[in-house]
């Protein structure tokens, strides 16, 4: 497999989607900006962790089977995003020492949104075909 520069840049920039989302969301609202660095750091950490654990293997499998499209990549990433977000919530509950109640539907949507966003960002930067 040959790695091109666009794919490498996409792998470095794509997982920044959740952090950019938080920055834009906080900038557009009147939210307190004092604690901005903590959610950004956590989102970057989990986004890169999920990308390298789930995203890169998915890209390699799809590429090997000649099925690498933004649609297929986004489908894989939404599932991965749900898993990563679920693990994040579980770890958060352990660290806080409380039993957080999880809204399954909200967890699915948020995880799918961030996973899909990373996949679309990666695909657009790397020049992956839509179909």
Digit-by-digit pLDDT tens for the chain (131 residues) are: 466 899 999 999 999 999 898 888 878 877 666 666 777 888 899 999 999 999 999 999 999 999 999 999 999 999 999 999 988 888 888 887 777 676 788 889 999 999 999 999 999 999 999 87
Closest of 27, 49, 46 to residue 92, by C-alpha:
46
- Residue 40: per-residue pLDDT: 80
The domain spans of the chain are: 5-126
Q: Where are the alpha helices (DSSP H) in 1-131?
A: 5-13, 17-28, 37-50, 56-64, 70-96, 104-126
């Amino acid at each position: 497999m040959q790695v091109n520069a666009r794919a490498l840049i996409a792998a470095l920039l794509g997982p920044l989607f959740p952090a950019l989302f938080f920055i834009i969301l906080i900038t557009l609202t009147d939210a307190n900006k004092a604690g901005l660095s903590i959610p950004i750091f956590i989102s970057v950490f989990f986004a890169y962790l999920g990308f390298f654990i789930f995203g890169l293997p998915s890209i390699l499998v799809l590429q090997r089977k000649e099925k690498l499209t933004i649609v297929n990549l986004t489908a894989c990433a939404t599932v991965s995003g749900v898993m990563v977000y679920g693990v994040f919530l579980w770890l958060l509950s352990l660290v806080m020492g409380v039993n957080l109640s999880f809204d399954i539907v909200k967890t699915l949507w948020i995880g799918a949104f961030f996973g899909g966003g990373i996949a679309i960002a990666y695909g657009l930067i790397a020049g992956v075909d839509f179909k």
